[in-house]
Amino acid sequence: MRKSLVLGPAVLLTFALAGLSPASAQDEVSANSPNAPVLLTEAQPAASPAFPAAAASAPAIPAAAPAEPGSSPRVGIGVMAGTLGIGGQVAVRVLRPLNIRAGFSGLGISYNFNNDGIDYGARLRLEGAPVTADFFFFHGMHVSGGALLYNGTQITGTASASAGKTFTLNDVAYESSAATPLTGSVGVTFRKTAPLVGFGFGNLVPRKGHRWSITADFDVAYSGSPRAALSLSGVACAPGTTSGGTCHNVATDPTIQSNVTAEQNSVNDKVRFLKIYPLFTLGFGYAF
């Protein structure tokens, strides 16, 4: 009886001491087992059975970058009118400050005039296809450089002096023959291609989400001096006569031909300033 009273407290003390260390270690090991209970804290949520606990430490997926403001239109089309006539143009944005622009326009004008007693029936044809790179440095303001890839601007027409009418060539007076009055042709042509530079306002491809635009461009093309050609035929007589020995064939008489050439050179001198050809255009467009 006395023995059991001594052994009982000893056994209980042994189990108590065993619970302080080995049991703790066992619990620590069994915590990794699937069946072990997991203590939850506010700092570490429980892992879902579908996703391993290691997934909780995986790096977060970065948020998508905000859309670039360049989601504005990239292509613009429009109509234009200017010193090359009426037509259309298209622009493509290749960089935020840079567009490539191309256009084509044309217009025909007929008019009659008299110069030195000769009647001219002329037709002015405006026609061109410019291509430029437009660099924008402040809102819609830009500088441009490129080329007039095709310049079809020209003047063509007829020349005539009715029978008995007095006219002058190189300040020399003649009278048109009654039998074969003076006739001929005149033309002024430009170089077909030319470099160009300029500046302007407005953007056919607006940058801030706008769609409609108004543009104005002031360019110059160096096309070289235009070439005038004057060709005359018929019979020219001395003033006061329309027939007889004072009359000569304009196409074959060397003196008259030299005066025709001098008259042609005079026209060339008058149009020489157009070697720097102005290209003024106003445009209205839509971008998408």
Can you tell me the mean pLDDT for 193-213?
A: 92
Closest CA to 160 of 182, 177, 178: 182
Give me the pLDDT at residue 60, please: 55
Spatial separation of the C-alpha atoms in residues 223 and 152, rounded to whole Å: 11
d(CA 156, CA 203) in angstroms, rounded, equals 36
Q: Tokens 């209205």 belong to which residue?
A: 284
State residue 284's pLDDT score: 97
Amino acid at residue number 104 = F
Asked if pLDDT for residue 70 goes beyond 60, the answer is no
Which has the minimum average pLDDT: 67-71, 86-90, 205-209?
67-71
Q: How confident is the model at residue 61 (pLDDT cuts 50, 70, 90)?
A: low
- Residue 33 covered by a domain: no
**b/e burial code for range 37-47 (CB count within 10 A of at least 16 → b):** eeeeeeeeeee
Q: What pLDDT, on a 0 to 100 scale, did the predictor assign at position 282?
A: 97
Residue 21 reports pLDDT greater than 90: no
| Domain of 130, in residue numbers | 72-287
- What is the pLDDT, as a whole number, of residue 66? 47
State the Rg of the chain over Cα.
46
Task: Decide if 24 is inside a domain.
Answer: no
**SS3 sequence, 128-155?**
EEEEEEEEEEECCEEEEEEEEEEECCEE
Number of independent structural domains in the chain: 1
Residue 188, pLDDT > 60, answer: yes
Whether 12 has a pLDDT exceeding 50, the answer reads no
Span of 26-30, 157-161, 205-209, 252-256 with lowest mean pLDDT: 26-30
> Does the model's pTM come out above 0.75?
no
Tell me if 204 sits within 8 A of 216, measured CB to CB.
no
Residue 191 falls inside a structural domain: yes
Report if residue 25 sits inside a domain.
no
Instruction: Determine, yes or no, domain membership for 27.
Output: no
Q: How far is CA 18 from the centre of its chain?
A: 89
Tokens 């467009």, located at residue? 285
| Bigger pLDDT: 17 vs 176 | 176
